[in-house]
Amino acid sequence: MDLRQLRHFLSVAEELHFGRAAERLGMTQPPLSQSIQALEGELGVQLFVRTKRSVALTPVGKEWLAHARAVLDKAAGLPETARRLSRGELGSLRLAFVSTADYSVLPGMVSQFRQSFPHVAVSLREATSDIQIEAVLNEEIDAGMIIAPDRKALQATLNYRPLLREPLVAAVPEAWIAARRPGFTAETLRAEAIMAAPLILFPRHIAPAFHDIVSGYFAEHGVAFAVHQEAIQMQTIIGLVAAGMGIALVPQSMTNLRRCGAHYLPLQDSAPEIETGLVWRAANSSATLQRFLEIAS
């Protein structure tokens, strides 16, 4: 069975006359009759009741007509579907992101993309930078929002684009400020107070760039670097700060995360900066990815 036979069936079903149906199709009647007979033979079902004076649909033919129309309607739309897929107006986009991006660049970019391309299915996945890079290389995701890596460490098969550069701020327990702990005020935080406090940070293997920025900050002040508590999610780190377990240096955008018991303070001296960027396979020619990259430019 092919689309040609379905069109033949539809014409006869609507005209209920082989002669008129053949004229409508631009063919002669005998080939049309043979096509319908071949279709019925292939299906093993009679679709029409024929007499010398009339043609009528069988009960099965009447029910099958709607299904045949649906198939032909979908087939008619296939060329335009292909064109829309090629333009990135249809399809899917698989995107991963670090937890910090959820409080900065992610919401606006995804919202703009969905408004521009409402028929593209967007799937989001939170993951650390190391997991995202592996997922991009394995073609499990199309792109990832990561903490900027050492560009020299990126494989040649990957492309990277900066999205946001922002200073780090200190997340500190509100109880420490209320207790007037030395060096802690409600306005700013001096480096000496940071160096003396228990530090909460990501493990280096999941966020080496972030880890190295923080350790470099300690090195600049000539202080030995030590991590008191590790956590793999930024929300967890803020939660541990709120519980009074220590302080954390976090991207400024994390101030959008309000957590009872945690307070954000700008650094009084020169604050280190962190970059969030987009990584994707250079060979990925997905049209939906290209549309997303245009928004991210």
Task: Name which of 201, 171, 165 is nearest 189 in CA terms.
Answer: 171
CA 132 – CA 30 distance, rounded (Å): 63
Residue 147, burial from CB neighbour count under 10 angstroms (0-12, 13-18, 19+): buried
CA 65 – CA 229 distance, rounded (Å): 68
With H, G, I as helix, E, B as strand and everything else as coil, classify residue 64: helix
- pLDDT tens digits in sequence order for the chain, 297 residues long: 899 999 999 999 999 999 999 999 999 999 999 999 999 999 999 999 998 889 999 999 999 999 999 999 999 999 998 999 999 999 999 999 998 999 999 999 999 999 999 999 999 999 988 899 999 999 999 999 999 887 776 778 999 999 999 999 999 999 988 888 877 776 778 888 889 999 999 999 888 889 999 999 999 989 999 999 999 889 999 999 999 999 999 999 999 999 999 999 998 878 899 999 999 999 999 999 999 999 998
User: Is residue 164 a contact partner of residue 235, using CB atoms and an 8 Å limit?
Assistant: no
Fold match flag (3-86 vs 91-163+276-296): no
CATH 1.10.10.10 fits 91-163+276-296, yes or no: no
| CATH number at 3-86 | 1.10.10.10
CA 151 – CA 159 distance, rounded (Å): 10
CA 27 – CA 34 distance, rounded (Å): 12
Topology of the domain comprising 166-273 = D-Maltodextrin-Binding Protein; domain 2 (3.40.190)
Q: Enter the pTM of the model.
A: 0.77
State the chain's mean pLDDT as an integer. 92
CA 68 – CA 4 distance, rounded (Å): 11
Domains of the chain, by residue range, sit at 3-86, 91-163+276-296, 166-273
